Structure formats: C-alpha cells, structure tokens
Amino acid sequence: MIDLSVELCVLGHADESAELLANLDAKTDEFPSQEDLSGAAMALLRLQDTYALTTDHLAAGNVQGISNSVAMSGMVSGI
C-alpha cells in the first residue's frame, strides 16, 4: 500500500499532504465498501457471461455491435 504522505513529501508537497489526507479521511464514508465492489464485479462477470462479452470489447464501450465513444481504462483521472 502506498503511503501518500511519504510520496508527497518525496515529490516536494509536504505541506499539501496533511490537507490531502484530512480531505480523504473526511470522504471515506462516501467510498464504496468491499461488499459493494465485490457485488459490482460479480454483476459485470454475469453480464459478460450472459451476453458473451469480452473484457476488451466491454472496456472499449463495444456492446453487441453498439459502440460508445468513451472507452474505459485502468488509469485514475482527477487525482
């Protein structure tokens, strides 16, 4: 697990690390629980199995020949 306070200090943002961590602590109530994440993963697996969707097609927004212009990636944005 990454220690954000250490990483921010290394990057020269020590002053911002305490504020960031305080903001994250205040928002943890809004984060999904492990049960929520597991349920979402299982639902995606059921959809893939039911409709014979491949992970790459689903991530690209291609579902049964219908293409969405927004593809998903493993990258986190806005941080």
Q: Is the pLDDT of residue 50 over 70?
A: yes
Q: What is the pLDDT of residue 37?
A: 93
Q: Is the pLDDT of residue 3 over 70?
A: no
**Residue 70 token pair:** 């927004």
Q: Where are the domains of the chain?
A: 4-51
Q: Count CB-CB contacts under 10 A for residue 7.
A: 11
Band (pLDDT 50/70/90 cuts) for residue 74 is low
Residues 6+ apart with CB under 8 A from 21: 4, 5
Q: Which of 15-24, 55-64, 69-78 has the highest mean pLDDT?
A: 55-64
Band (pLDDT 50/70/90 cuts) for residue 43 is very high
Residues 6+ apart with CB under 8 A from 29: none
